[in-house]
Structure 1
Amino acid sequence: MPQSTTPRRIGRSWSVRVRVISLVLVMLTLGLVVAGVVTFAVQFNQLNDRIESELEQEVSEIRGIATGGPPDSAENVPYQDLYALFEAYLTVSVPGDHESMLTLIDGSTAFIPGGSERPFELNVPAVKQEVERLHEPGRAVITDFALDDHDLRMVVASVSLPGDDREGIAVIAIDAGAQRGQIWAQVGTYALVALGTVLVTGATGYVVTGRLLRPLTDLSKATATIDTEDLTQRVEIRAADNDVAQLAHTFNQMLDRLEAGVADQRQFLDDAAHELRTPLTIIRGNLELMEVGDAEDVDQTRDLVLDELDRMKRLVDDLLLLAKSQRPDFVEFAPVDVQALGHDLQDRAHMLADREWDTSVNATGTILADRQRLQQAVIQLAANAAKFSEAGSRIELRVDWAQPTDKVLEQVQTPARRYLVLTVRDNGAGIEPEEAERIFERFGRSEHHRSVDGSGLGLPIVVAIAQGHRGTVTLDSTPGLGSTFRMWIPGEM
């Protein structure tokens, strides 16, 4: 049974926007939870310590009053009567909002301060039974005790006087549960505020990240519609003040380069096809018209076909060389002696044509370059000069060090302090200003010199070699007076 070729639909995962917001909210929530737990844990601990301290202070006050004696005693004679001691203690000690007291003498209630305004009642059987159980003569015992709806922290302090045989007990209790309830109420308030903070942060973050990440959405839409047939789509950038927008800007620049490269390739293929079509048409036409029985016609056709094939081979070789110029190994750098390079160029240029060659090598030292590529470029310039000048005319070839001109600085990406300038100057036909840029393009030729043999790839090869050295080529030309080509090679890479 044949398998279905329908592609599986991949489930939509969370977007970057949702992931970022989720991460921020999770971290914010964890931070608020940790902060709340620590804060309220500290408050509960402080409450317990404060209650413990207050109970101990009450016991210290009773014992201090007992030792100090009645206020009207001139010699601070200690209290001799438990009843009088408890009365004096309850006179100066007022129970707090969550506090209640009870004093007992021999198990019977002596004093109950606070009247009907007491927060809770200690004079009940349950409390007295707990007091009787915890009471230890001469000691103060602190314990937790649940009374009705109150969670009490209570101290049972034994009180005895030297002149009184009765057993006194002071009971002080603080409603710790009520105070803990107040803290728990703050916990609820904090939780609501924290929840509101998370919700507001989530809503605000969703809007803000949506604006920040909008270029990513546009980028996704753009990449879905871009193909080799249409590279005009671009990502709209509303602001370039963040990394995401900068990414979209970089993507647009990449598309600009791709579009230019694809257009250049298409133009290159069109031009190559056009240039190759002519010799192929000539070859086919002559072969069709050739008289097989006429030996002279066969020889003439053979010579013409071979000549056209040689021209096609040169054209293909030049095309391959231009294609190779895009590779990193097109130029192989090595130290080159400038004077030796100049003398080598002089020897080779003299063999090109019957011209008055004026060669001067004024530069010395070494340069990091590809010797063979430089020779190839300069000889190509010299061959062009010979091609477009009269026999016996003067052609100058110079090798100098020079500072970069404004035109050079505009054309190179990383300027150098000085350049090795390889100059070829002729006194030939010159080039019209409107054609000065076109002749450096592939298959670009001057309209006034179409009859001169050539493929239109010589100068593009020279430019490719110069750019491979991070340099450039400049032209100064006057129609009817001649042209000056300068190849600028940086002295320091």
Structure 2
Amino acid sequence: MEAIIATDLGPGTVEHDPHARRTGRATAARTRIVGWVVLFVLTSLGVVTLVTWLLLIGETDRRVDAALGPQIDEFARSARAGVNPSTGRPFGSVDEILRSVIATNVARPNEKFLGYLDGRFRWESRVISPDVRLRTDPAFTRLVATVPAPTRGTYMSAGGEVHWAALPVGLDGRPERGVVVIAYLVDQEHEFADEAARLMTLVGIGVAMLSALGAWLAAGRILQPLRDVAATARGITDTDLSRRVPLRARPRDEIAELAGTLNDMLDRVQSGMQSQRRFVDDAGHELRTPITIVRGHLGVLDPEDPDDVRDAVALVDDELDRMNQLVSEMLSLTRAEQLTLLQPEEVDVDAFTREMFGKLTALADREWRLTSAAPIHMRLDPHRITQAVVALADNAVRATGPGDRIELGSDADDERLRIRVSDDGPGISEADRARIFRRFARGENAPRSDGAGLGLSIVEAIATTHGGRVRLDSVVGEGATFTLDLPREGA
């Protein structure tokens, strides 16, 4: 049987789900994108619909106005002929002219022919058309029934806008005055434009819905890299910096550049933290011995014995010097491992090699030789490279004696620069080659020095931060050659 446990969180207490909050933020961003897309689509379609409707309305009005002219001309010709086409006899009255003109011309849909005699309505075309009662509209009657000359105009009736043209007619010898009126009910003519606008509106709503769906799907794909960034950031802790944003197969765009930049930043942060941890570990490991030595001697120190005190002070001073040397070398190694501390610049390698050679000759009484200098320019950090070469030369000095040979040279090809330091000392055994680059390691036959055993580690770190490596070629009894092998692309 499954047990159900109820937990009382107390009044006003709400349990928050971080994942739900993240999902809500992601959905809100997606919704905003969709909202903006739909707003843009609806606005664009609204503008297009309005412009199209206005153009259709304008075209209809122009067509109606253009049709009024020929109709009035036709009415004028019929009236001037003076003969009733139905009887073949001359018109006997103005009223007969009005009835004949209206009866013999067929009104189209949305068109009305009206006849007025002495200011009063008399005739109207009988074609079926919208029920707009112009004949009983006193305002329209006053407007058109007594015009003295052919006239055009517009009138807003109860049934909509009307475009009209009026032609006064008369008969010689008769006092009556008549007016023939052609009226177009343009609101009905505008129905096509209105229907087109309604259709475009419905299509626009459908397009907006499809756009919203497409925007929702597209926003999901666009925001996925950002979700990857957020997931990677949440997975990083102070003890685990190994996670990286997955670089999915996609065109190189701003989001992919963001992911790559974040990964590069995480690489630098991880490198810095690893260097700090190594520094702390190395310091804790290497400083423990001199501290133990000092504490042991101070524990058995006889303060009443001047000689014992003097020896203890000398021992403590020696150990402090060694600790200072150790810390200095560890700091140098830590700095050498930091890419952000590199300061590359364009360097003339030929002049740079000769400058370094001038510095090396002051290290000790040896037979110094400059074998070659590469005539190229490339980007590198001259201070770091000088530090590495001086460290290699210092090792060569320790492995040789006065008058022994030490050589410096540089050469290059299309892809790499090589800076070599060679000596004719005892060489390095096969067993020592694998360990001399380790921290605090020394070769079995290495001469005693005041260093902490970090010199070659520093050299290797400098070469690595320049994208290169350190090579060792040595034959026991015939000397050793250390080579800084660096890519021509530069640091």
TM-score in terms of structure 2 length: 0.75
| Closer/same/farther in 2, CA of residues 64 and 461 from structure 1, 3 Å limit | same
The answer for the alignment partner of 2:193 in structure 1 is 183
1:93 pairs with 2:105 = yes
The answer for the alignment partner of 2:472 in structure 1 is 476
**1:47 deviation in Å?**
2.2
Matching residue within 323, 328, 331 for 1:320: 331
| Closer/same/farther in 2, CA of residues 451 and 485 from structure 1, 3 Å limit | closer
The amino acid across from 1:177 in the alignment is D
Provide the rounded CA distance (Å) in 2 between the counterparts of 1:155 and 1:371: 96
The amino acid across from 1:425 in the alignment is D
1:262 pairs with 2:273 = yes
Equivalence map 1:151-300=2 (5 Å): 151-162=161-172, 166-241=176-251, 242-291=253-302, 298-300=309-311
The amino acid across from 1:38 in the alignment is V
Provide the rounded CA distance (Å) in 1 between the counterparts of 2:198 and 2:132: 30
The amino acid across from 2:426 in the alignment is G
Provide the rounded CA distance (Å) in 1 between the counterparts of 2:139 and 2:468: 107
Count of aligned pairs between the two proteins: 457
**1:257 deviation in Å?**
3.3
Contact kept? 1:145, 1:154, Cα under 8 Å: no
Instruction: Indicate the SS of the match to 2:426.
Output: coil
Instruction: Indicate the SS of the match to 2:189.
Output: helix
- Deviation sequence 1:164-219 (CA, Å, 0-9, x none): 65423212222222223443333333222222222221122012101210221232
Instruction: Indicate the SS of the match to 2:179.
Output: strand
Instruction: Indicate the SS of the match to 1:310.
Output: helix
Provide the rounded CA distance (Å) in 1 between the counterparts of 2:445 and 2:248: 50
**1:162 deviation in Å?**
4.7
Contact kept? 2:423, 2:480, Cα under 8 Å: yes
Equivalence map 1:414-433=2 (5 Å): 421-432=419-430
The answer for the alignment partner of 2:412 in structure 1 is 403
| Closer/same/farther in 2, CA of residues 433 and 131 from structure 1, 3 Å limit | farther
Q: Which sections of structure 2, spanning at least 5 residues, go unmatched?
A: 1-12
The amino acid across from 2:112 in the alignment is S
Provide the rounded CA distance (Å) in 1 between the counterparts of 2:291 and 2:361: 38
Contact kept? 1:104, 1:170, Cα under 8 Å: yes
Contact kept? 1:431, 1:446, Cα under 8 Å: no
The answer for the alignment partner of 2:454 in structure 1 is 457
The answer for the alignment partner of 2:41 in structure 1 is 28
Provide the rounded CA distance (Å) in 2 between the counterparts of 1:231 and 1:465: 23
When the two chains are superposed, the root-mean-square deviation of aligned CA atoms in Å is 4.4
Deviates more, 1:195-204 or 1:59-68: 59-68
**1:96 deviation in Å?**
0.9
Equivalence map 1:134-153=2 (5 Å): 134=144, 135-144=146-155, 146=157, 149=159, 151-153=161-163
Contact kept? 2:472, 2:481, Cα under 8 Å: yes
The answer for the alignment partner of 1:102 in structure 2 is 114
| Closer/same/farther in 2, CA of residues 138 and 288 from structure 1, 3 Å limit | closer
The answer for the alignment partner of 2:67 in structure 1 is 54
Contact kept? 1:425, 1:485, Cα under 8 Å: no
| Closer/same/farther in 2, CA of residues 80 and 142 from structure 1, 3 Å limit | farther
Provide the rounded CA distance (Å) in 2 between the counterparts of 1:265 and 1:342: 34
Contact kept? 1:80, 1:164, Cα under 8 Å: no
Provide the rounded CA distance (Å) in 1 between the counterparts of 2:132 and 2:408: 117
- Deviation sequence 1:220-262 (CA, Å, 0-9, x none): 2332342322323444454433432442343234323322332
Deviates more, 1:236-245 or 1:93-102: 236-245
Provide the rounded CA distance (Å) in 1 between the counterparts of 2:129 and 2:389: 112
Provide the rounded CA distance (Å) in 2 between the counterparts of 1:334 and 1:172: 94
- Deviation sequence 1:400-432 (CA, Å, 0-9, x none): 4x21486xx4xxxxxxxxx58352334423153
Contact kept? 2:147, 2:179, Cα under 8 Å: no
- Deviation sequence 1:16-56 (CA, Å, 0-9, x none): 32332222222222222222222212222222232222223
**1:266 deviation in Å?**
1.0
| Closer/same/farther in 2, CA of residues 446 and 319 from structure 1, 3 Å limit | closer
Provide the rounded CA distance (Å) in 1 between the counterparts of 2:132 and 2:329: 111
- Deviation sequence 1:268-326 (CA, Å, 0-9, x none): 22112211112222222233344556665555544443332222121122233344555
Instruction: Indicate the SS of the match to 2:170.
Output: strand
Provide the rounded CA distance (Å) in 1 between the counterparts of 2:382 and 2:268: 31
The amino acid across from 1:31 in the alignment is S
TM-score in terms of structure 1 length: 0.75
Contact kept? 1:473, 1:488, Cα under 8 Å: yes
Provide the rounded CA distance (Å) in 2 between the counterparts of 1:432 and 1:168: 129
**1:471 deviation in Å?**
8.1
The answer for the alignment partner of 2:360 in structure 1 is 345
Provide the rounded CA distance (Å) in 2 between the counterparts of 1:244 and 1:383: 49
| Closer/same/farther in 2, CA of residues 379 and 131 from structure 1, 3 Å limit | closer
Provide the rounded CA distance (Å) in 2 between the counterparts of 1:44 and 1:164: 43
Deviates more, 1:158-167 or 1:281-290: 158-167
Instruction: Indicate the SS of the match to 1:456.
Output: coil
Provide the rounded CA distance (Å) in 1 between the counterparts of 2:276 and 2:218: 43
Matching residue within 29, 48, 53 for 1:16: 29
**1:129 deviation in Å?**
7.4
| Closer/same/farther in 2, CA of residues 122 and 311 from structure 1, 3 Å limit | closer
- Deviation sequence 1:366-423 (CA, Å, 0-9, x none): 989988766654442233124345x5794322244x21486xx4xxxxxxxxx58352
Instruction: Indicate the SS of the match to 1:213.
Output: helix
The answer for the alignment partner of 2:6 in structure 1 is none
Provide the rounded CA distance (Å) in 2 between the counterparts of 1:472 and 1:121: 94
Amino-acid identity (%): 26
Contact kept? 1:100, 1:122, Cα under 8 Å: no
Provide the rounded CA distance (Å) in 1 between the counterparts of 2:281 and 2:246: 33
The answer for the alignment partner of 1:416 in structure 2 is none
Provide the rounded CA distance (Å) in 2 between the counterparts of 1:433 and 1:160: 132
